[in-house]
Amino acid sequence: MEKRSENLTDLNQIGEFGLIDLITKDFKIVNDSTELSIGDDAAVLNYKNQKIIVTTDMLVEGVHFDLSYFPLKHLGYKAVISSISDICAMCGTTKQITVSIAVSNRFKLESIQELYSGIKYACNRYNVDLIGGDTTSSLTGLVISVSAIGCVSKSNYVTRSGSKPNDLIVVSGSLGGAYLGLQVLEREKQVFLVNSNSKPDLSKYKYVVERQLKPEAKSEIVEFFLENKIRPSSMIDISDGLSSEIIHLCKKSGNGCVIYEEKIPISKETVDTCEEFKLEASTIALSGGEDYELLFTIDSKYLKNIEQHKEFSVIGYITKESNTNLITKDGKTTPISSMGWKSF
Amino acid sequence: MEKRSENLTDLNQIGEFGLIDLITKDFKIVNDSTELSIGDDAAVLNYKNQKIIVTTDMLVEGVHFDLSYFPLKHLGYKAVISSISDICAMCGTTKQITVSIAVSNRFKLESIQELYSGIKYACNRYNVDLIGGDTTSSLTGLVISVSAIGCVSKSNYVTRSGSKPNDLIVVSGSLGGAYLGLQVLEREKQVFLVNSNSKPDLSKYKYVVERQLKPEAKSEIVEFFLENKIRPSSMIDISDGLSSEIIHLCKKSGNGCVIYEEKIPISKETVDTCEEFKLEASTIALSGGEDYELLFTIDSKYLKNIEQHKEFSVIGYITKESNTNLITKDGKTTPISSMGWKSF
């Protein structure tokens, strides 16, 4: 019953965002309780003035993770973190999750328990309740789908749109580590495939590997905003890469930006590993995904609050013109292009 | 990183419910907003006295559906119906859904559009908003995960527990049709595999095939309850089969039941097709899943209301003792055994 012919369109011709646009454009919102729908980090529901945030993610073995080096406990943890991070990006607090899994018969009970021990660890760490899900078989591999539900404080949620010219562009933590961790793990896998007696010493790469295998959601930053009554004008989490996310923010607000390469936060461990892999650290920081840091824009009156927070780096500012530009370390201006994660 | 050894436990040794019990038993609820968690048709959240119902389902190609005879538009429709039915079983009204899909590169854009045309049709039919989701690639096949969010009226939600001895046991519509529709489609597939020129004439099986390919959620029955201020004491939707669901209801309330075989509603079309397939219609009605009818228990004071509704059949009553018994057409008493859908 599928359509198969030479005249049909491959999904990689239109890409994930093109696909989403095409399949969702004819859906009309009919319920008053739907306040914000498709197109942000999460949707916002308004039930009798109680605003609720909902997001969902799907992870597929062989596409999003490789179980030959990704421990199941870490995978369970990361699957939950990824959804919590989306709620953080709305300035919300995650309260509940549902987890559905499809597993082939190669998976044993003990493996599934490992996966759920990581899910439980994340629930404990972030005070989230597992409230439901589905468990079923698959013909091959493992698929995990996590939906997260959160609430918003009185100060309201923050979307991807809302930035104004001269707003500061701020990023939390440091970038590029998760991508490099993946490169290290992939390299060790190749070594192992050639020589199965090899015992990788990953101690040198502890930081970057941990960024890949055990990322954290930035719920403390959301709490900092709420406690200090600071409200970003727009926000997104960095799952696909800084360049891709900054373009999202600018497009949504119909403006542009200037980013200073020298201001992009990159850890020493990331720089060292980049040198070993002969990679340009700034490129990795701009294009590498899965760091789950927060990228936000904020009125410059908050500069002092931002500077006082050790996690924050001001990396540029919003411009009225729609160009998204990078000022390189040698002072040249170059357009930022999106090289984020491609689903198809 | 998976566990692989002879000493490990195959998932089919413990079954779906055993697995769910094992992996969820150590999760503790920490948020006040979590009112009802794992173990019913859906979870219930309470945000500032606004109760919200959440459920999620995962459908896997080759496990839950066969695209050689299941049209993608129907699949999209059924995936949504299945989640709406869970919300109906709580006496709730579905307001929003998220849909995540993983698709292999054998799927073309036009096929995905077909799938979403069915999703849209269901959204329109049931006044539901599509508010988010995820679209990603898979190595093989199609996986669909639907989460649904609904609200509850003042009269509150109905769980699987709450029945009392002498409560009537009532089922909506008729049973067994969806299972037989599947048998018809499977048979035609086998004929087609032998002779690809065969053109199946399914007009004779229109009813049962439609029960399989285009089931409906019983939202009108929920509306009937609300309008008439009738509240079932417990309720479940029949996705796995009548015998399996009645055992769920009795176990949850710590009681038993008597069901009369002759009272089980079976359509003429289902009986006719059963005869052709040399199947016992009552067995199919008890064990066949996917009818998405509602099974509920209700105080006998509502008997008149129930009898006046053409969709309802009173099929038995709740007993204090925990035995679940069937009175056969020839007056014999036989225990009801669960032969519902097995995930592993």
Average pLDDT over residues A126-144: 96
Given a contact cutoff of 8 angstroms between Cβ atoms, the answer to whether A85 and A220 are in contact is: no
For residue B59, what pLDDT is reported?
A: 97
Contacts of B145 in chain A (CB under 8 A): 56, 58, 100, 134, 145
For residue B285, what pLDDT is reported?
A: 96
Structure confidence by residue, pLDDT tens digits, B95-121: 999 999 999 999 999 999 999 999 999
Looking at CA atoms only, how far is residue B267 from chain A in angstroms?
Answer: 28
Interface of A with B in 135-174 (CB under 8 A): 135-141, 143, 145, 147, 149, 151
- Strand partners of residue B326: B259, B334
Distances (CA, A) of B66 to A9, B62, B81: 22, 6, 18
Taking CA atoms, what residue in B is nearest to A48? Answer: B50
* Rounded Cα gap, residues B296 and B283, in angstroms: 20
User: For chain A, what percent of residues have pLDDT higher than 70?
Assistant: 97
For residue B17, what pLDDT is reported?
A: 87
Residues of chain B with CATH 3.30.1330.10: 11-151
Residue B210 scores a pLDDT above 80: yes
More confident residue, B283 or B339: B283
Looking at CA atoms only, how far is residue B81 from chain A in angstroms?
Answer: 16
Structure confidence by residue, pLDDT tens digits, A147-193: 999 999 877 899 999 999 999 999 999 999 999 999 999 999 999 89
Residue whose C-alpha is closest to residue B178's, from B188, B166, B186, B170: B186
User: For chain B, what percent of residues have pLDDT higher than 90?
Assistant: 88
* Rounded Cα gap, residues A245 and A249, in angstroms: 6
For residue B138, what pLDDT is reported?
A: 95
Interface predicted TM-score (ipTM): 0.94
Q: In what order do the strands lie in the sheet with A50-60?
A: A34-36, A43-47, A50-60, A142-151, A93-103, A129-137
Residues of chain A with CATH 3.90.650.10: 168-177+216-335
Residue whose C-alpha is closest to residue A109's, from B4, B332, B25: B4
Average pLDDT over residues A19-25: 92
For residue A321, what pLDDT is reported?
A: 96
* B11-151 placed in CATH 3.30.1330.10: yes
Contacts of B24 in chain A (CB under 8 A): 116, 130
Contacts of A121 in chain B (CB under 8 A): none
Report yes or no: B208 at the A interface, CB cutoff 8 Å: no
Interface of A with B in 324-343 (CB under 8 A): 343
Report yes or no: A10 at the B interface, CB cutoff 8 Å: yes
Mutate to test the interface with B, among A12, A147, A154 (most CBs of B within 10 A): A147
For residue B32, what pLDDT is reported?
A: 95
Report yes or no: A104 at the B interface, CB cutoff 8 Å: no
Taking CA atoms, what residue in B is nearest to A20? Answer: B135
* Rounded Cα gap, residues B4 and A114, in angstroms: 13
Structure confidence by residue, pLDDT tens digits, B246-279: 999 999 999 999 999 999 999 999 999 999 999 9
Contact A11 B137 (CB under 8 A): yes
Contact A54 B11 (CB under 8 A): no
Contacts of A23 in chain B (CB under 8 A): 112-113, 116, 135
Residue A274 scores a pLDDT above 70: yes
Residue B325's Cβ-side half-sphere holds a number of Cα atoms within 13 Å equal to 15
Mutate to test the interface with A, among B5, B20, B23 (most CBs of A within 10 A): B23
Nearest to B29 among A55, A129, A133 (CB): A129
Average pLDDT over residues A223-244: 95
Average pLDDT over residues B81-106: 97
For residue A5, what pLDDT is reported?
A: 66
Taking CA atoms, what residue in B is nearest to A51? Answer: B47
For residue A344, what pLDDT is reported?
A: 72
Residue B339 scores a pLDDT above 70: no
Average pLDDT over residues B308-330: 96
Contacts of A31 in chain B (CB under 8 A): 95-96, 127-129
* Rounded Cα gap, residues A4 and B169, in angstroms: 48
Residues of chain B with CATH 3.90.650.10: 168-335
Contacts of B151 in chain A (CB under 8 A): 33, 47
Contact A143 B143 (CB under 8 A): yes
- Token pair of A165, please? 């010219």
For residue A340, what pLDDT is reported?
A: 62
Could you tell me the pLDDT band of residue B49, with boundaries at 50, 70 and 90? confident
For residue A341, what pLDDT is reported?
A: 64
pTM of the model: 0.94
Contacts of A6 in chain B (CB under 8 A): none
Contact B2 A67 (CB under 8 A): yes
3-class DSSP assignment, residue B310: coil
For residue A2, what pLDDT is reported?
A: 66
Tell me which CATH homologous superfamily contains domain B168-335. Answer: PurM-like C-terminal domain (3.90.650.10)
Nearest to A19 among B8, B112, B145 (CB): B112
Residue whose C-alpha is closest to residue B99's, from B130, B141, B55: B130
For residue B200, what pLDDT is reported?
A: 80
Given a contact cutoff of 8 angstroms between Cβ atoms, the answer to whether B97 and B123 are in contact is: yes
At position B6, the amino acid (one-letter code) is E
Q: What is the mean pLDDT of chain A?
A: 94
Average pLDDT over residues B139-160: 93
Mutate to test the interface with A, among B35, B46, B51, B58 (most CBs of A within 10 A): B58
Residues in chain A: 344
Distance from first CA to last CA of chain A, Å, rounded? 22
Looking at CA atoms only, how far is residue A159 from chain B in angstroms?
Answer: 14
Mutate to test the interface with A, among B27, B112, B119, B131 (most CBs of A within 10 A): B131
Residue B201 scores a pLDDT above 90: no
- Token pair of B37, please? 């968690």
Q: What is the mean pLDDT of chain B?
A: 94
Tell me which CATH homologous superfamily contains domain A168-177+216-335. Answer: PurM-like C-terminal domain (3.90.650.10)
Contacts of B70 in chain A (CB under 8 A): 1
Residue whose C-alpha is closest to residue B156's, from B87, B90, B83, B88: B90
Nearest to A3 among B57, B111, B137 (CB): B111
For residue A46, what pLDDT is reported?
A: 94
Could you tell me the pLDDT band of residue B1, with boundaries at 50, 70 and 90? low
- Token pair of B155, please? 């009269």
Given a contact cutoff of 8 angstroms between Cβ atoms, the answer to whether A109 and B14 are in contact is: yes
Cβ within 8 Å of residue B339, ≥6 positions away: B241, B243, B244, B286, B287
